[in-house]
């Protein structure tokens, strides 16, 4: 696959997870109203031992971080004439996140966060993805700035841009993070895969605890 198609797939797969999250919130609001919806959002499932809000917050922590890194690296490649080979890699620290709080207990805050990250992916798509000639106006003329070959080169650099992914490998409070070399593309793929897993857990909660139809 071309770098353009790979990057487009990475963007669209993460965006699809976010749209699924948003759609479920809309269904809950339509069926139960905003006040009861917030109670259901935070209700723990006896099967999963977690709430929809907890799964949303956890997977959003990952997707948002990867989106921001991709956006930052996209900005660094805005000029083909500048060399970025010596730039220090960015680091994604997946385990430095805030558990609890409004992002998993407040539907409105969760919804705002989802749409803010959708906006990041929409901007990435607008800036990076090569469109057909008929779509140039929708892309604000962005395709006119670079040839197709130049755009492929930019996207390949973005996908392969070196970054560090930092993890804790146990729940021991004394455990230290380790940093592994990765790439922007790999982490966008990981976050989409990770998001799919958590949406599967959300489906169990929605069906078996909240009583929604499959």
For residues 17-28, give the mean pLDDT.
97
For residues 200-205, give the mean pLDDT.
97
CA distance 88 to 112: 32
pLDDT band at 25 (very low <50, low <70, confident <90, very high): very high
Own/partner contacts of 26-35, CB < 8 Å, gap of 24 or more, are 27/212, 28/107, 28/210, 28/212, 29/107, 31/212, 34/107
Per-residue confidence (pLDDT) for residue 116, from 0 to 100: 97
Per-residue confidence (pLDDT) for residue 74, from 0 to 100: 79
Per-residue confidence (pLDDT) for residue 62, from 0 to 100: 94
Listed in sequence order, the DSSP H helices in the chain are 3-32, 34-41, 52-76, 102-105, 107-128, 148-160, 184-208
CA distance 161 to 74: 10
94-136 pLDDT, tens digit per residue, is 887 666 678 899 999 999 999 999 999 999 998 877 755 444 4
Let me know the angle formed at the C-alpha of 14 by 9 and 16, rounded to the nearest 5 degrees.
Answer: 90
Global pTM reads: 0.86
pLDDT band at 139 (very low <50, low <70, confident <90, very high): very low
| Among 16-20, 48-52, 154-158, the least confident range | 154-158
Let me know the angle formed at the C-alpha of 55 by 46 and 186, rounded to the nearest 5 degrees.
Answer: 140
For residues 181-188, give the mean pLDDT.
96
For residues 66-81, give the mean pLDDT.
73
Per-residue confidence (pLDDT) for residue 133, from 0 to 100: 47
């Amino acid at each position: 696959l071309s770098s353009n198609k790979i990057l487009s797939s990475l963007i669209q797969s993460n965006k699809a997870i976010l749209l699924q999250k948003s759609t479920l919130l809309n269904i809950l609001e339509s069926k139960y109203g905003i006040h009861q919806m917030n109670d259901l959002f935070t209700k723990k499932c006896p099967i999963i031992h977690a709430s929809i809000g907890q799964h949303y917050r956890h997977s959003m922590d990952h997707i948002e971080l990867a989106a921001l890194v991709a956006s930052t690296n996209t900005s660094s490649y805005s000029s083909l004439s500048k060399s970025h080979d010596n730039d220090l890699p960015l680091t994604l620290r997946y385990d430095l996140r805030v558990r609890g709080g409004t992002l998993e207990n407040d539907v409105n805050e969760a919804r705002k966060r989802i749409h803010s990250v959708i906006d990041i992916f929409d901007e990435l798509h607008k800036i990076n993805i090569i469109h057909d000639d008929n779509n140039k106006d929708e892309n604000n003329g962005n395709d006119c700035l670079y040839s197709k070959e130049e755009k492929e080169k930019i996207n390949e650099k973005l996908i392969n841009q070196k970054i560090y992914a930092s993890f804790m490998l146990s729940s021991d409070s004394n455990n230290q993070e380790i940093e592994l070399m990765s790439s922007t593309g790999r982490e966008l793929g990981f976050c989409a895969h990770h998001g799919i897993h958590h949406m599967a857990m959300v489906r169990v909660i929605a069906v078996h605890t909240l009583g929604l139809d499959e």
